[in-house]
Structure 1
């Protein structure tokens, strides 16, 4: 039972919940007038437990980061994600990318930027393709989305207790073939997890 609550390699719902509750309590105690509150970090991949949860990214595990796309409704979009912890991993992943020939200039630029080891912050690279084709067997009228969802927060979810009224996401936009007017949207789903959706 204990390894399920506190996995030996780190991460997991209990550590995530305790870290969040500790941050909320510290904020509510140290902020006299409740406003303005100092920023509260929900996820930071330079922290060991957050990195462990992100390294297990998949489709079904609610205790890890999850990818989703319109294949669940008979569509043809495809999403994937990988945690990159070092500049070397970024360079290796860029080199192994199928799109290396198309994105050569951008990759070289990104590699040069990422080589500043002191400034490097681990990140979750989420990428994929959108396809608005609706499958013949699908009940959907239209299609075309890809999503990345955070691990769930148990019990009361990510209850911010009215201390915050905004959500900030840090995104490092790489090369994109999407229409520039289309972009990601952040959603708090039932306050238990954060979703980043491209549509």
Structure 2
């Protein structure tokens, strides 16, 4: 089996798997048939018949058809763009693209299968965290109030420190300078008075 046939088989298997899932979701458990189609035409006819049966059981496909009819301009533009893109490629180029991307389909299917096999983590931790959320929010609010109080105390402490420096340090220094100047002037006045008095006594 070459890569082209493998890609075709993979595409058929993917379509059948998706159709089975749709039937299970919309109709419930599906009875497995013993006679499985082997050739491609038989598998195509089976897919068409399954789609017709599914359309008869549910209105989902009819809703899709209604949407397509209401927005046919979008679908026609997309189809026209695809046709123009396909027209630029010949059969050999299209086959080469399919073969080139066949491995990518297999890789994607393997990755999806690996994700499907993984177990969903337990929700106990998330439920406990959700229960603790009000307490966490309360603690955050309390922390914010404490931070605001600390900031206010820091501002008041800074203002008080500045006031203490101005009153007790700078104020005392200014008073000392003022008193020193006054004492110096008084000493000069006393010295002049004594000198004058001494001259008067000598004269």
TM-score range, shorter-chain basis? under 0.3
Higher relative contact order (CA 8 A, sep 6+): 2
* Structure with a larger share of its residues in helix: 2
Q: Tell me the TM-score normalized by structure 1.
A: 0.21
| Greater fraction of residues in strand | 1
Which of the pair has more CA radius of gyration? Answer: 2
